[in-house]
Amino acid sequence: MEKPAICGGTPVRDKKLFYGHQYLDQSDYDAVMEVLKSDYLTCGPKITELEEKLCEITGAKYAVVCSNGTAALHIAALAAGIGKGDELITTPITFAASANCAFYCGGRPVFADINEKTYNIDPASVEEHITERTKAVVAVDFTGQAVELERLQEICKKNHLVLIEDGAHSIGTKYNGIPVGSIADMTTFSFHPVKTVTGGEGGAVLTNSEEYYQKLLLYRSHGITRNEQFLKNESHGPWYYEQVDLGYNYRLTDIQAGLILSQLDKLEMFKKRRKELVARYNDAFSKLDTVTVQEEIPQSDTTRHLYILRLNTDRLTIDRKQFFEAMAAENICCNVHYIPVYYFPYYEENGYKKGICPKAEALYEEMITLPLYYAMSDKDCDDVIKAVEKITEYYKK
């Protein structure tokens, strides 16, 4: 049996492999340079072009791009009408922003548990957490896999809740053949460098509702409008605008929009490669009885953003932390997505206690994020597989 590097064996590779990395090429550099040489660095034509492109890709009627995915969630929660004392149901297995957006609006996030096979929010648990104060659900397409949209839409419709899909991981994913972005009441995207498509920073909200669209535009830019239809007083002249609500400066620059547009031209290429790598991992890991592969619902045609491996810790003599360290010794830098949101001190201080989502907490103890990104070679992927095989075999009970 081969010795893991952590016990003095030879590491599977010399060069460190990271869990994610952006991919940019000459066309991206050119796209940014073109904007830098143009008349508009912000609020210019690239913004409209990007919004049109996102509508074309997703089939949504309206898109509002903004400074990042967190801002997208904030303005979506505002447009959904979240206010003081309102509740918003979400999953604990996500980045904190999915839940924080409730606090931004004076409301409270409420955590529903996950499905232990798919790791996405469990619609039955959502139903159990609905109260008179519930206004919205933020369902996260965790790792890129679409949530159970049909069930969630049914539940939201019945209870008059707004369904916000946090699609930070899922650009390119389809649900029943329909692209994510045109299904939920509002869908948010992030263009952070670790996501499938990047602008350095960037975000977007997609919707089919004209009403939400108009609100999103206001909240993105100070609550200011020039649209005659929404003015409260008579116009003073062509320069006239009004602040009709309290909004923010959540605008995206044209520089970022130019980069995102150029990245979106590569979306099909990104999708294809990510799917190949996921298939390669799944093939290898489904043969091991020491690990569990994330299950997919048949409705989701997934562009995977993260690859999660679940350790069957009852069959291993090491825990997740030791496994993580053993992988690092093989020069494979993993990560963990995510620490359940309500474990954080801020949440504790706000009255959240451990134990509220047992399935999410159990998953957290056993999960590890393996490298997955466009530019990974087959050899990189096979090195990760080799390291997992070596470590799990050595520490098998």
Ligand X SMILES: *Cc1c(COP(=O)(O)O)cnc(C)c1O
Which residues contact ligand X (rule: CB under 6 A)? 68-70, 94-95, 97-98, 140, 166, 168-169, 190, 192, 203
Strand order, beta sheet including 300-301:
178-179, 174-175, 300-301
CB closer to ligand X out of 57 and 168:
168
CB of 156 vs ligand X, minimal distance in Å: 19
Give the separation between CA 122 and CA 139, rounded to whole angstroms: 10
Q: Closest CB to ligand X among 166 and 254? A: 166
Q: Closer to ligand X by CB, 312 or 335: give it.
A: 335
Residue closest to ligand X (Cβ): 69
CB of 253 to ligand X, least distance (A): 14
Nearest CB to ligand X, comparing residues 163 and 318: 163
Residue number with CB closer to ligand X (12 or 140):
140
Pick between residue 191 and residue 281 the one whose CB is nearest to ligand X.
191
* Rounded least distance, CB 169 to ligand X, Å: 6
**Nearest-angstrom CA–CA distance, 392 and 291:** 8
* CA atoms of 349 and 111, how far apart (whole Å): 16
Rounded Cα distance between 229 and 114, Å, is 44
- Amino acid in the structure at residue 138: V
Q: How far is the CB of 335 from ligand X (least distance, A)?
A: 12
**Closer CB to ligand X, residue 166 or residue 366?**
166
In whole angstroms, give the CA distance from residue 254 to residue 218. Answer: 19
Pick from 63, 65, 80, 111: which is nearest to 260 by CA?
65
Say how far apart CA 218 and CA 119 lie, in whole Å: 35
* Complex with ligand X: residue 288 or 341, whichever CB lies closer: 341
Report, in Å, the least distance between residue 96 CB and ligand X: 8
Q: How far is the CB of 199 from ligand X (least distance, A)?
A: 9
Q: How far is the CB of 196 from ligand X (least distance, A)?
A: 11
Q: 191 or 395, CB closer to ligand X?
A: 191
Shortest Cβ 296–ligand X spacing (Å): 18
User: Please, what is the minimum distance in Å from the beta carbon of residue 200 to ligand X?
Assistant: 10
